[in-house]
Amino acid sequence: MPKQKTHSSAKKRFKVTATGKLLRRKAGQAHKLEKKSAKEKRGFRQADTVAKANREVVNKLLGRR
């Protein structure tokens, strides 16, 4: 049976921590930043964890079971 391939776009967007948690980038930091507060923009810097509802899908895309 051939090897399972990792989803190329998923491996660029998600990071797996040492404990197995999935990290993602926060949405909303690409454009229209002049109307957002400095506090809101600072919050974008910190990575966020993937929601429970999406963990199974993301793990499958990354080739983790």
- Residue 16 has a pLDDT of 96
Instruction: Supply 21's token pair.
Output: 């948690």
Q: Which residue has the higher pLDDT, 49 or 4?
A: 49
Per residue in 20-43, pLDDT (tens digit) is 999 999 999 999 999 999 999 999
- Residue bearing tokens 């949405």: 27
Span 8-61 CATH architecture: Irregular (4.10)
- Residue 1 has a pLDDT of 86
| pTM as predicted | 0.83
Domain positions in the chain: 8-61
CB atoms within 10 A of CB 12: 8
Return d(Cα 48, Cα 23) in angstroms, integer.
6
What is the torsional sign of CA 57, 22, 24, 63?
Answer: negative
Per residue in 52-62, pLDDT (tens digit) is 999 999 999 99
Question: Within 1-65, where are the H helices?
Answer: 8-13, 38-45, 52-61
